[in-house]
A and B are shown apart, each in its own frame.
Chain A
């Protein structure tokens, strides 16, 4: 191919290569949305999930405005008017001490939505670092961490929580910490699995060849790339935590009176089932709706996730 071109218009082999502009999106925005932004954008298009999210947001606002919205002080007792059926003065009836069920529901929302976050924080604090360590470093560290996690996972969650609370004393925070400890191994597993996949990616090898140290690679390159599956897992865990808090409080080892979470309300309703069967309904429905919403949000997140993995 070394014969020089003699025809009039053949391009020479040294024609400078024009910058290819074909596939970069046309003009202006100097910056483009990152993968997280696009993930959220896709999430926004999930109808059911957005409805569920809206519901939770509304619920949170309601909880924040509880003092404004509740007609009565939730702790105010009015024994003569105990067991009033719903309607009239008491929108959802009154309980065995004459307290307004509606007001208690509103205030209970605060605890039932916030307390699980404590559990999640503990789970993240334990599950993420150890999961990353186990997944990235491997070897005997992985073996050790995984065995410890396995041990914790084989204990029934509620029993473990009860045991921990029994040791530490009943309180909302203790119960939530216990829950967090119980959930940490599950999160650890998810994190470890995601790290195992990301670890094999070429850009990790590239980071090593550039000279980054292990910890730096974990923080800068591994962690941001495992965020989506972690978010999905956390959303589901939130739902479990709401249920678990309700169960623990129902059993009397979670939130303690006079604080009233939905679990506590359920308990009161259960105890007074014959006298006031209406008491058990609102908290039951509330729990169900919240958990359902969380599930739908989790599904939506997972569906928006899929495309991150697909390449162009």
Chain B
């Protein structure tokens, strides 16, 4: 595979991420048969589901998909952040530390939010209140979950700001959000999110709106914090490059369901679902050539007009009649911890990055 990016040292492959030891690590979060519906003019319509996901402890799970795949809705539903009308969760469980998050009373849920499971979003401006200094906002989160004095909380907030790479944190803690650039604001949000050392961090496209050089900084920061705090992460994105950079495991979503999952290197090298193959082939690469790109024909079906059988079959170059008959299950395919929602995955040899 020709490497266009010069420097022989680039050609060396890095260490593959630590393989999952057989039978473990323990999953810290498990989503089982999640279904999310939204109210439309014609009653409730399922937009996600059923979805099963497993987040092993200490690892990063990438939730990948294009718009309309349901990845953000899935991520928001874990913390029950879906507005309940017009949304609702008629089925499914989110198992965290033996409890089903969906059946917890709201008070218990709000204790978990921020303290045990935290979230960061794409647009920092919408989760930072412009009327308060960043120091005050971080302190507020700390004091919500820990019984410490205001002075103490402020000190911790300043420490956090320094940890996430904001220069002169003592001074900057007294500034308002609008005084920060996009990348800096995202760092502030990350500081807020990790202030109580959560077990799980859910990141919903946190770098999509950032410049690529800033994105690289933020991804490095997240990796550092994860190593330090032993956090597990769910990382929602549409960018396969970001997945390749930061995710240990991947779940690919299409039209509201997971269509493929597994450890990242293996999934990229040997995809087991035609949609994954299509995504990989149609992604422009920095080390690619100037050539016509493959593209997946057609468009993502909206939730109210799903095709019969496999949801991807109208766009799939490998579809056969059997694909229209029934919606396939997620079968084990292609290796340990690999799942794919395709009846032909065994027989097809799909192109990956190898």
A contacts B directly (C-beta below 8 A) = yes
Interface residues, chain A, with chain B CB atoms under 8 Å away:
1-3, 5, 7-15, 17-18, 20-23
* A8 CA / B293 CA spacing, docked (Å): 20
* A104 CA / B293 CA spacing, docked (Å): 78
Considering the complex, give the chain B residue whose CB is closest to the CB of A8.
B349
* A249 CA / B211 CA spacing, docked (Å): 66
Chain B nearest CB: distance from A233 CB in Å? 29
Q: Is the CB of A7 within 8 A of B281?
A: no
List 20 A–B pairs whose Cβ atoms lie within 8 Å, in order of A's numbering. A1-B281, A1-B288, A2-B289, A3-B1, A5-B351, A7-B348, A7-B350, A9-B348, A9-B349, A10-B351, A12-B294, A13-B293, A13-B294, A14-B292, A15-B297, A17-B297, A18-B297, A18-B298, A20-B299, A23-B302
Check B2 for interface membership: any CB of A closer than 8 A.
yes
Shortest beta-carbon contacts, A-B, top 8: A22-B299, A18-B297, A7-B349, A11-B317, A13-B294, A10-B351, A20-B299, A22-B298
Q: Is the CB of A9 within 8 A of B298?
A: no
Task: List, in ascending order, chain A residues with CB within 8 A of B294's CB.
Answer: 11-13, 15
Q: Besides the contacts A10-B351, A13-B281, what 19 more A-B pairs have beta carbons closer than 8 Å?
A: A1-B288, A2-B289, A2-B291, A7-B349, A7-B351, A9-B318, A10-B277, A11-B294, A13-B291, A13-B292, A14-B292, A15-B297, A15-B317, A17-B295, A17-B297, A18-B297, A22-B299, A22-B301, A23-B299
Interface residues of B in 310-354 (CB under 8 A from A): 314, 317-318, 348-351
Task: List, in ascending order, chain B residues with CB within 8 A of A3's CB.
Answer: 1
Check B76 for interface membership: any CB of A closer than 8 A.
no
Task: List, in ascending order, chain B residues with CB within 8 A of A22's CB.
Answer: 298-301, 314
Q: Is the CB of B281 within 8 A of A21?
A: no
Considering the complex, give the chain B residue whose CB is closest to the CB of A19.
B297
- Is chain A's interface secondary structure helix, strand, loop, or mixed overall? loop
Task: List, in ascending order, chain B residues with CB within 8 A of A13's CB.
Answer: 281, 291-294
Considering the complex, give the chain A residue whose CB is closest to the CB of B283.
A1
* A23 CA / B300 CA spacing, docked (Å): 8
Check B285 for interface membership: any CB of A closer than 8 A.
yes
Q: Is the CB of A1 within 8 A of B292?
A: no
* A11 CA / B351 CA spacing, docked (Å): 9
Considering the complex, give the chain A residue whose CB is closest to the CB of B1.
A3
* A23 CA / B314 CA spacing, docked (Å): 13
Task: List, in ascending order, chain A residues with CB within 8 A of B317's CB.
Answer: 9, 11, 15
Task: List, in ascending order, chain B residues with CB within 8 A of A14's CB.
Answer: 292
For the complex, count residues of B whose C-beta is within 8 A of A: 25
Chain B nearest CB: distance from A224 CB in Å? 28
Task: List, in ascending order, chain A residues with CB within 8 A of B1's CB.
Answer: 3
Task: List, in ascending order, chain B residues with CB within 8 A of A9's CB.
Answer: 317-318, 348-349
Residue among A5, A7, A11, A21 facing the most chain B CB atoms (10 A cut-off): A11
Considering the complex, give the chain B residue whose CB is closest to the CB of A6.
B349
Considering the complex, give the chain B residue whose CB is closest to the CB of A26.
B305
Q: Is the CB of A1 within 8 A of B297?
A: no
Q: Is the CB of B289 within 8 A of A20?
A: no
Q: Mark B197-237, 1 if CB is under 8 A from A, else 0.
A: 00000000000000000000000000000000000000000
Given contacts A11-B294, A20-B297, A22-B301, contact A2 B281 (CB under 8 A): no
* A104 CA / B349 CA spacing, docked (Å): 89
Q: Mark B270-311, 1 if CB is under 8 A from A, else 0.
A: 000000010001000100110111110111111000000000
* A2 CA / B2 CA spacing, docked (Å): 9
Task: List, in ascending order, chain A residues with CB within 8 A of B293's CB.
Answer: 13
* A14 CA / B295 CA spacing, docked (Å): 9
Considering the complex, give the chain B residue whose CB is closest to the CB of A7.
B349
* A47 CA / B285 CA spacing, docked (Å): 55
Task: List, in ascending order, chain A residues with CB within 8 A of B314's CB.
Answer: 22
* A14 CA / B285 CA spacing, docked (Å): 17
Task: List, in ascending order, chain B residues with CB within 8 A of A12's CB.
Answer: 294
Task: List, in ascending order, chain A residues with CB within 8 A of B318's CB.
Answer: 9
* A15 CA / B318 CA spacing, docked (Å): 13
Q: Is the CB of A10 within 8 A of B297?
A: no
Chain B nearest CB: distance from A9 CB in Å? 6
Chain B nearest CB: distance from A41 CB in Å? 14
Q: Is the CB of A1 within 8 A of B289?
A: yes
* A11 CA / B279 CA spacing, docked (Å): 13
* A253 CA / B291 CA spacing, docked (Å): 79
Q: Is the CB of B350 within 8 A of A1?
A: no
* A236 CA / B254 CA spacing, docked (Å): 48
Task: List, in ascending order, chain A residues with CB within 8 A of B281's CB.
Answer: 1, 11, 13
* A7 CA / B349 CA spacing, docked (Å): 6
Chain B nearest CB: distance from A58 CB in Å? 31
Chain A nearest CB: distance from B313 CB in Å? 13
Interface residues of B in 111-148 (CB under 8 A from A): none
